[in-house]
């Protein structure tokens, strides 16, 4: 073993693919160089992590950082700052910006904007649309591209492919796993009269479970016809979770902290702050998503961080926009569920590190192992904190979890061997780089 390291983390409880145990980590040139007893090793920096757990860096594969075009809500710097303050080391950012990310030039523009400004590593989803189908085989393989994202139901922005022929054409062109917002647009349109002015609790009545299930059933049928792999985002219904348990041949799926934590019973308290697409629903749907997570149907967790300003969210429903902040609260909210016994720490790691690596073919991330990027999310499982709006680094500066007490807290974030956050403070300039992918 070479004698010296750039950094050694000692006495931490490491959670990785071979279990949980106290061991030291040696970092050199941004990568994990050694795991074991390194107490006597020479290092430029030595950090005592006694009493802390060191997890593989958390990857949030669904965030909306709103740049370009909507930077009064969020931008790449503020969104990534929120990410690392919450223990997230890499993000995949969504294409429904203005202009949309549907061309090579638009992707190159986002990568240029990210350089020297983003605090975490990053990749960008490319939007699949009717007018760029022929370009998708090239677009999905460009450096920095997370893959292709398709909106089958309308949400924030202009991207929409609502017809089977359009979805099938996209699936026949691509080779990587594509991500889908799955709601049936014809049903959404026919049910718009069911929205009740001033009553956000009518949101899940409008965008009901049938709209979600009908779209997902269509998607799975088309994926099998095209022999394509798909990823269904933000599952919100019992019916979809039961259906997707029989579709693992072609489909992976994501759950979000808000669909696992909130329910329709919270609308009187939170109002439009809880308004999301697809909606937060009744408690029986939330419990079904937990059953799917425990059974292994759920493959990854994503925050669906989708900020709007407090003024925008204060508009009366349905003029209020759908979306909430989430990237900074993903880790503490889910660690609180770990402490409550709803999932194991190992399962949390699989959902936020190994799972994204496995699904999307990420190079050098997703586990703590020699030669991998030294991306670490360091947490204090016993620390009790109360989440406050004042802690939120997003430009929008609010969270639906304001006032919620949690047990389990991110205390350190390492990105490729650099300690970028420690005990709530940013301690390094933004040096994020593009995530690399196989193929």
CA 133, CA 129: separation in Å to the nearest integer? 6
In this prediction, residue 158 carries a pLDDT of 76
In this prediction, residue 1 carries a pLDDT of 46
Please name the helix (run of DSSP H) or strand (run of DSSP E) that holds residue 339, with its range, or none: helix 330-339
In this prediction, residue 155 carries a pLDDT of 76
Whether residue 304 lies in the annotated active site: yes
Give the class (CATH, top level) of 4-54+369-426: mainly beta
Q: Of how many residues is the chain composed?
A: 439
pLDDT for 281-338, tens place per residue? Answer: 999 999 999 999 999 999 999 999 999 999 999 999 999 999 999 999 999 999 999 9
CA 338, CA 149: separation in Å to the nearest integer? 30
CATH topology of domain 61-360: TIM Barrel (3.20.20)
Report the predicted TM-score, pTM, of the whole model to 2 decimal places.
0.98
Domain with CATH 3.20.20.140 in the chain: 61-360
CA 352, CA 366: separation in Å to the nearest integer? 8
For residue 278, cis peptide bond before it (omega within 30 degrees of 0): yes
Domain with CATH 2.30.40.10 in the chain: 4-54+369-426
Please, which residues have CB within 8 angstroms of residue 18's CB and are 6 or more apart in sequence?
none
CA 157, CA 131: separation in Å to the nearest integer? 16
Q: Which of the residues 60, 121, 208, 304 is marked catalytic? A: 304
In this prediction, residue 294 carries a pLDDT of 97
- In 10 A of CB 381, how many CB atoms? 15
| The two structure tokens encoding residue 57 | 């860096």
Best CA proximity match to 413, nearest among 83, 117, 91, 93: 83
- What are the pLDDT tens digits along the chain (439 aa)? 456 999 999 999 999 988 999 999 999 999 999 999 998 999 999 999 999 999 999 999 999 999 999 999 999 999 999 999 999 999 999 999 999 999 999 999 999 999 999 999 999 999 999 999 999 999 999 999 999 999 999 876 678 999 999 999 999 999 999 999 999 999 999 999 999 999 999 999 999 999 999 999 999 999 999 999 999 999 999 999 999 999 999 999 999 999 999 999 999 999 999 999 999 999 999 999 999 999 999 999 999 999 999 999 999 999 999 999 999 999 999 999 999 999 999 999 999 999 999 999 999 999 999 999 999 999 999 999 999 999 999 999 999 999 999 999 999 999 999 999 999 999 999 999 999 999 7
pLDDT for 120-141, tens place per residue? Answer: 999 999 999 999 999 999 999 9
Cβ pair 362, 310 in contact under 8 A: no
């Amino acid at each position: 073993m070479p004698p010296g390291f750039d950094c050694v983390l000692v006495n931490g409880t490491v959670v990785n693919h071979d279990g949980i145990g106290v061991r030291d980590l040696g970092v050199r040139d941004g990568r994990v160089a050694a795991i074991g007893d390194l107490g006597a090793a020479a290092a430029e920096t030595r950090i005592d992590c006694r009493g802390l757990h060191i997890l593989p860096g958390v990857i949030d594969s669904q965030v909306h950082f709103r740049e370009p075009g909507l930077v009064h809500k969020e931008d790449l710097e503020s969104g990534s700052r929120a990410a690392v303050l919450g223990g997230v080391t890499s993000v995949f950012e969504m294409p429904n910006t203005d202009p949309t990310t549907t061309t090579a030039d638009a992707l190159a523009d986002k990568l240029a904007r990210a350089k020297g400004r983003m605090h975490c590593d990053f990749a960008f989803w490319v939007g699949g649309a009717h007018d760029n189908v022929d370009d998708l085989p090239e677009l999905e393989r460009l450096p920095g591209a997370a893959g292709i994202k398709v909106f089958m139901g309308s949400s924030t922005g202009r991207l929409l492919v609502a017809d089977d022929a359009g979805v099938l054409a996209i699936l026949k062109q691509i080779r990587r796993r594509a991500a889908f917002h799955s709601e049936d647009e014809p049903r959404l349109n026919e049910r718009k009269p069911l929205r009740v002015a001033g009553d956000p609790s009518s949101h899940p009545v409008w965008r009901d479970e049938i709209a979600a299930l009908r779209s997902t059933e269509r998607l799975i049928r088309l994926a099998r016809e095209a022999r394509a792999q798909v990823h269904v985002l933000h599952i919100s219904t019992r019916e979809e979770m039961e259906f997707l348990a029989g579709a693992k041949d072609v489909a992976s799926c994501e759950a979000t902290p808000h669909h696992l934590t909130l329910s329709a019973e919270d609308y009187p308290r939170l109002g439009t702050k809880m308004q999301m697409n697809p909606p937060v629903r009744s408690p029986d749907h939330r419990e079904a998503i937990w059953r799917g997570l425990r059974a292994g149907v759920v493959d990854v967790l994503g925050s669906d961080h989708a900020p709007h300003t407090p003024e925008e969210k204060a508009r009366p429903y349905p003029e209020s926009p759908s979306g909430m902040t989430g990237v900074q609260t993903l880790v503490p909210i889910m660690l609180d569920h770990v402490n409550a016994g709803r999932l194991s720490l190992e399962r949390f790691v699989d959902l936020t590190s190994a799972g994204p690596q496995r699904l999307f073919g990420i190079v050098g991330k997703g586990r703590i192992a020699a030669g991998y990027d030294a991306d670490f999310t360091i947490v204090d499982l016993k620390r009790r904190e109360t989440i406050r709006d004042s802690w939120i680094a997003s430009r929008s500066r609010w969270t639906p979890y304001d006032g919620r007490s949690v047990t389990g807290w991110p205390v350190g974030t390492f990105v490729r061997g650099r300690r970028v956050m420690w005990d709530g403070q940013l301690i390094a300039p933004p040096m994020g780089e593009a995530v690399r992918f196989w193929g």
